[in-house]
Structure 1
Amino acid sequence: MAALAPSVAAIRLAVRRALTGLPSAGPVLVACSGGADSLALAAATAFVAPRLGRAAGLVTVDHGLQAGSAQRAEMVAAWAREAGFTSATVVRVEVAGRPGGPEAAAREARYQALTEVAGQHGAVAVLAGHTRDDQAETVLLALARGAGPRGLAGMPVRRDLAGVPLLRPLLEISREQTRAACEVLGLSPWQDPHNTDPSYARSRVRADVLPALVRALGPGVLDNLARTARLVAADNAALDDVAQEALAAARHPRGGLRVPDLVALAPAVRGRVLHAWARELGASPSALSYRHVAALDALVTGWHGQGPADLPGGVRVLRSADRLALVDPT
């Protein structure tokens, strides 16, 4: 028997670990664009899932942004049926008219589609093919935006997608490994032209910044960036737990938060408390930024009688004596 290629073995092991950790025996879905990363993930899932007694389906999202996208999506679905997936779903989404830039709008449309398909199939998880290289790019982009610890934590291995876990088994797998696996398995990945379009910041990081860092600092820089994301994510989780306890302790009997309790908190914890509270009040998580939390913090630590802080979604917070409270819109 021929030895299993290291790239294929590594990806199958990553998928096995992800699936083994699921508490329920229900089906999983693989989100697959047809690119090397998601195609390698899909091939590994098609191999591993049945051996764990688990059904696996595939969903491919047609964003309609490029000529031939519908045909390409159908080709991915056809391959999935041949590869042994129990279902292969093509979803066409509308990106135009959504808030944010083109990348954010496409991502929102894609995740909404994945959530709907997961609900239709009773899936217990959706698997996405983001790699170590994607994680390194995410960390660099967050650093450039001044995003703070949440941004530097990069993409989580697991996040909630409207009640369905979104898993990223390949965050410790390199893009080179996914390409090698596809070659070994005789798969022909699609090359997304958006990935090389310099009008996108991520494409510029991929084409110019990361190669420059590798040349200057060595290939280990990619692993180090991904490791940084894991370490910061662990710190974030610990601080978030502390912040949740502090938020509960700071609640005012008449609603809102007690200012003296907030003043007593370390700045890193207080910022998280105010961020979490703003989301409770209805501020959009995607629009809630550093400047909004800073405005809330100014009501706590730099109050001189100023008016309310305005948050996304029309949410307004006012300080009255030693209490922060939501301004009644009526």
Structure 2
Amino acid sequence: MGPHPAVAAIRLAVRRTLQDVLRDADALGRGPSGNDRPPLVLVACSGGADSMALASALAFEAPRLGLRAGGVTVDHGLQPGSDDRAREVVSRLEALSLAPAEAVTVTVGRAGGPEAAARTARYAALDEVAERHGAAAVLLGHTRDDQAETVLLGLARGSGTRSLSGMAAVSGSPTGRTGAGHRYRRPFLAVDRQTTRKACMVQSLPVWDDPHNADPSFTRSRVRHDALPALEKALGKGVVEALARTAQLSRDDADALDAWARDAERAVRADASDVANVTTGTGVALDVARLHALPSAVRRRVLRRVTVAAGSPAGSLFARHIEEIDRLITDWHGQRAINLPGRVAARRQGGTLVIRQV
């Protein structure tokens, strides 16, 4: 008799992810057949149902594929007794025979609001642990429900196709750490939260429900407990699945448009030799006529790419900034230079658009 269907589902999802990790490691000559130790895969575990289910599946599947498995929990220090909770999670990871298993304490700042600040601190800690242990990957327990919530949040921001594409199954570090291009893996993006909780229950795994997940002061909590149930009540069941499917379709579209924009950027670069002050610092000159001929979705991606390359922080560059630059191309009537985050300016000189730090 096989495992419970919920346990089988989480193990299959993790097995597929680990097979991808293994292929990547083999391509780099670091697989189990190489001279190095077997690759290490870490699970980021909060002690909640999603990450505990993930930890149990990793502990089961990794040895069968010749991989080492470890775990890490991050203590944000935002609740009384959080250090005790972190030690308890480490004990649970050790009970699953995960090694190394450790807790990392972080200091959460204020930049971007409490949710963004906690996320920044958490990923910085996970990056540090992964690099210290030479981990091939870090598994994250985001589920299909989390993906649906992310799509709704992106829709509320109104930032375009990329914001609707949700979380990627494979991603680099959001902190921009070098060498972390494929570090983070999300095996459960096609698994719902009910399945992970059921898998914990049938395996008698203790779980901890973070009170922040039910705190209405957090935007994601309101989406989870108010917005999504209201949508399902109004539209019927299947909203979560539809939003998750939208994320994948949007990601495919955004990836294609981004690839088009990379090629287009090379084609629209102007000859800067006759444009004053362009080559001073980090600047670029773009041919306005060629930009104008591009579809707007591609043109705006080109503008964002070159503006970030000129020194404007990606996290501070919003859709309204790109729209203002775009008007220098599509609605030109002698506007002054546009000041952008990171002391970057965009201005039009005749038939050339110049974007550079000032």
1:11 aligns to 2:10 (yes or no):
yes
CA deviation profile, 1:264-305 (whole Å, cap 9, x unmatched): 100011011111111111211111110111111111112222
Q: Which residue of 2 aligns with 1:251?
A: 269
Q: Which residue of 2 aligns with 1:146?
A: 158
Tell me the secondary structure at the aligned position of residue 90 of structure 1.
Answer: strand
For structure 1, list consecutive stretches of 5 or more residues without a partner in the other structure.
none
Return the letter of the residue paired with 2:267.
Answer: A
What's the TM-score, normalizing by structure 1? 0.96
Q: Specify whether residues 208 and 328 from structure 1 end up closer, same or farther in structure 2 by C-alpha distance, changes over 3 A only.
A: closer
Tell me the secondary structure at the aligned position of residue 172 of structure 2.
Answer: strand
Choose which of 67, 74, 90 in structure 2 pairs with 1:54: 67
Tell me the secondary structure at the aligned position of residue 233 of structure 1.
Answer: helix
Per-residue deviation at 1:93? 0.8
Distance 2:101 2:345 in 1: 46
Distance 1:111 1:256 in 2: 36
Q: Specify whether residues 218 and 3 from structure 1 end up closer, same or farther in structure 2 by C-alpha distance, changes over 3 A only.
A: farther
Tell me the secondary structure at the aligned position of residue 339 of structure 2.
Answer: strand
Q: Specify whether residues 328 and 242 from structure 1 end up closer, same or farther in structure 2 by C-alpha distance, changes over 3 A only.
A: closer
Q: Which residue of 2 aligns with 1:116?
A: 128
Choose which of 312, 334, 341 in structure 2 pairs with 1:305: 334
Two-structure CA RMSD over aligned residues (Å):
1.3
Distance 2:138 2:325 in 1: 36
Tell me the secondary structure at the aligned position of residue 286 of structure 1.
Answer: helix
Choose which of 238, 256, 265 in structure 2 pairs with 1:238: 256
Distance 1:311 1:169 in 2: 38
Choose which of 231, 251, 267 in structure 2 pairs with 1:213: 231
Choose which of 65, 76, 81 in structure 2 pairs with 1:68: 81
CA deviation profile, 1:70-129 (whole Å, cap 9, x unmatched): 1111111111122111201211111124x1010000001111111111111111111100
- Tell me which stretches of 4 or more aligned residues in structure 1 moved more than 4 Å: none
Distance 1:212 1:3 in 2: 37
Distance 2:354 2:102 in 1: 47
Q: Which residue of 1 aligns with 2:56?
A: 43
Q: Specify whether residues 191 and 102 from structure 1 end up closer, same or farther in structure 2 by C-alpha distance, changes over 3 A only.
A: same
Choose which of 196, 214, 231 in structure 2 pairs with 1:196: 214
Tell me the secondary structure at the aligned position of residue 173 of structure 1.
Answer: coil
Return the letter of the residue paired with 2:287.
Answer: R
Per-residue deviation at 1:327? 4.0
Q: Specify whether residues 252 and 181 from structure 1 end up closer, same or farther in structure 2 by C-alpha distance, changes over 3 A only.
A: same
Per-residue deviation at 1:146? 1.5
Q: Which residue of 2 aligns with 1:261?
A: 290
Check the 8 A contact 2:257/2:298 in 1, yes or no: yes
Worse-superposed segment, 127-136 or 293-302 = 293-302
Distance 1:291 1:274 in 2: 12
Percent sequence identity over aligned pairs:
53
Return the letter of the residue paired with 2:193.
Answer: R
Choose which of 307, 310, 325 in structure 2 pairs with 1:278: 307
For structure 2, list consecutive stretches of 5 or more residues without a partner in the other structure.
26-30, 32-38, 273-283
Check the 8 A contact 2:44/2:73 in 1, yes or no: yes
Per-residue deviation at 1:145? 2.1
Q: Specify whether residues 327 and 224 from structure 1 end up closer, same or farther in structure 2 by C-alpha distance, changes over 3 A only.
A: closer
Distance 1:28 1:279 in 2: 32
Q: Which residue of 2 aligns with 1:88?
A: 101
What's the TM-score, normalizing by structure 2? 0.88
How many residues get paired? Answer: 327
Per-residue deviation at 1:328? 4.9
